[in-house]
């Protein structure tokens, strides 16, 4: 699946996070990778000054790192979308 760098695509990824136990926030900060994951608090913080492309890439990196199980999602479309994302390779 090709990564689309659009606002709609970003919103679809954000919807995935809304169905998890993690809270996604956009904040300012000097993160080395552009994001920070506080696993004990289940909070994900992405640099709010990132470009649209940067935010999408950061969220895709986080999804790979968290290794979420698609079957844990109640929404069938979310399951399918997460499965597709997990099979996507980012080429920078």
Q: Which percentage of the chain shows pLDDT scores above 70? A: 91
76 within some domain:
no
Q: Is the pLDDT of residue 25 over 60?
A: yes
Q: What is the pTM of this model?
A: 0.83
Structural domain that includes position 56: 7-69
Q: How confident is the model at residue 91 (pLDDT cuts 50, 70, 90)?
A: low
- 7 vs 38: CA distance, rounded Å: 25
Q: pLDDT averaged over the chain?
A: 85
Residue 26 in domain: yes
Contacts 24+ apart (CB under 8 A), 50-53: 52/5, 52/6, 52/7, 52/10, 53/5
66/57 Cα distance (integer angstroms): 14
The CATH number of whichever domain residue 25 belongs to comes to 3.30.2010.10
The two tokens of residue 85 are 């994302």
């Amino acid at each position: 699946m090709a990564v689309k760098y659009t606002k709609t695509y970003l919103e679809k990824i954000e919807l995935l996070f809304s169905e998890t136990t993690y809270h996604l926030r956009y904040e300012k900060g000097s993160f080395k990778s552009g994001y920070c994951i506080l696993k004990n608090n289940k909070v994900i913080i992405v640099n709010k000054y990132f470009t649209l492309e940067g935010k999408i890439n950061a969220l895709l990196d986080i999804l790979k790192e968290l290794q979420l199980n698609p079957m844990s999602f109640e929404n069938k479309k979310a399951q399918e979308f997460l499965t597709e994302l997990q099979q996507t390779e980012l080429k920078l």
